[in-house]
Amino acid sequence: MLILGSMPGPVALRKREYYGFPGNYFWRLLPEILGERAPRDYAAKVALLKDRRVALWDVIRSCTRTGASDGTIRDAAPNDIPGLLRRRKGIGAIFLNGKTAERLYRVHFGGTLHVPAFGLPSTSPANASVSYERKRRAWSAAIRPFLENRNPWC
């Protein structure tokens, strides 16, 4: 599976770690869904993803943005997601972390890619109107069929 965010925020970029902002729920939520303990350091987080065959990337390759808010993203240039899917044919589903990632994915790739894509609530603390429990339920409902080899698309 491939999980796409919009674009890392300033803290994540500075740390060179996906979802590196301490308030982001991603590294709490995903291991829980996978039935794993939350990794303590970034190397363990990457190892967990590799072991479970989960890829992380972003819809956006480059942009102009003020601060961490996705609402200030301008001049977004997309990553080569079609090229990634050609190189990594085993990717059976794309999960879009938040409304901005979903909107930009749909704008740039629309119905041109033949891999199912699912919009999910953002794990960002800026998405405070959605509780952690609601995020966990939505992510779990979308991801579990692919983990349990019940992928309806294959």
Better-scored residue on pLDDT, 10 or 24: 24
Give the CATH architecture of domain 2-147.
3-Layer(aba) Sandwich (3.40)
Helix axis angle, 26-34 relative to 42-51, nearest 10°?
40
pLDDT tens profile 15-72: 989 888 888 999 999 999 999 999 999 999 999 999 999 999 999 998 878 777 777 6
> For the whole model, what pTM was predicted?
0.90
- In the chain, DSSP finds a helix count (H) and a strand count (E) of 6, 6
Quote the percentage of the chain above a pLDDT of 70.
Answer: 95
pLDDT tens profile 79-135: 999 999 999 989 999 999 999 999 999 999 988 898 999 999 999 888 878 899 999
The single-letter code of the amino acid at 139 is W
Catalytic residue among 24, 97, 127, 151: 24
**Residue 8, CA distances (Å) to 2, 39, 68, 73, 150 in order:** 16, 20, 8, 11, 31
pLDDT tens profile 69-86: 777 678 889 999 999 999
Tokens of 150: 């019940």
pLDDT band, very low/low/confident/very high, at 146 (cuts 50, 70, 90): confident
pLDDT at 150: 47
149 labelled catalytic: no
